[in-house]
Each structure stands twice: as C-alpha cells, then as structure tokens.
Amino acid sequence: MRQPWTNQSAQTDDNKRAVERQSVALPARLTWKDQRGATRFASVIARNVSHFGVYVECQSPVSIPLFRLVQFQLERDVRESDALPGSLQQGRVLSAVYRVTPPSPSRPQGFALRLMVDPKRKVREASASNAQVLAS
C-alpha cells in the first residue's frame, strides 16, 4: 500500500533493527549520579540485549530521568557467555537511558539503555568475523 505523502510503500512487518536482540534474564547493576551528584546503585535484571542496547527491569522503583548517563554492568558470574555481545563481557559500559517504563501491578519498572559503543568498530568486528568464516 502506498501512502500519498511518501514515495515508499508502507511496510509494517519489516524489522528495522541493525542487530537482533537476544532474550535473556541476567542479573546486572546500574550505577549513576543523581541530580545532587550522589552516586546511586540499582540491581536490575537484563531482559534483552543486543550489541547497541539493553532493556532492564528494576524490582524496586528508582528515579533515573530520561537521557541520564548510567554505567551498566552484568554480574561477574554471568559475563563469560559467548552468546553475549563483546561489549557486555568487558565489564562496565557507559549507557544512556532512552526509554523509561513506569511500574505497573503486573510489570516492574523498566529502562531501555543505549550502549555507548562505537558502531563503526562493531561493523568492522562483524566484517572480520564474517571474513574468517568465509576463509575456513
């Protein structure tokens, strides 16, 4: 179906993600500075991860505003999985909060985080690993 205001067809079933997300349930920790400069911590559960983002749920509501920079870190004992993106295996990753989901009776509070990793570096790593696969 064509929309009169665009030159492109409306496609609602296309996945526009650059990298697929993986559903997980891994313990993690957020660290940030509040508006007064005090360091805050929260234990969270990572629900899905990708090379550039992660969605976490926090059982106890915390006040982290939109666009706040936070440090995201998976707990040490779950970091070693080869299924996880390399940036998450390294330890702390600087991230920006880009969506806050308020708690409801059925769901805990959630935060969508954009990992501050160099996307060009990830593209080069993916190209190198693809070249290795093709060479073997």
What is d(CA 131, CA 127) in angstroms, rounded to the nearest whole number?
Answer: 6
pLDDT for res 105: 94
Handedness of CA 54, 59, 65, 42 (dihedral sign): negative
Specify the CATH number for the domain of residue 36.
2.40.10.220
Residue 129: inside a domain, yes or no?
yes
Residue 41: inside a domain, yes or no?
yes
Per-residue pLDDT band for 5 (boundaries 50, 70, 90) equals low
76-127 confidence digits (pLDDT tens): 999 888 888 888 888 899 999 999 999 999 999 999 999 998 876 554 555 5
Residue 27: inside a domain, yes or no?
yes
The parent domain of residue 131 ranges over 22-135
Residue 1: inside a domain, yes or no?
no
User: Which residues, in sequence order, are CB contacts of 114 under 8 Å at separation 6+?
Assistant: 52, 53, 95, 96, 98
pLDDT for res 79: 87
Q: How many domains does the chain have?
A: 1
41-81 confidence digits (pLDDT tens): 999 999 999 989 999 999 999 999 999 999 999 999 998 88
Residue 8: inside a domain, yes or no?
no
At residue 11, does pLDDT exceed 70?
no
Residue 2: inside a domain, yes or no?
no
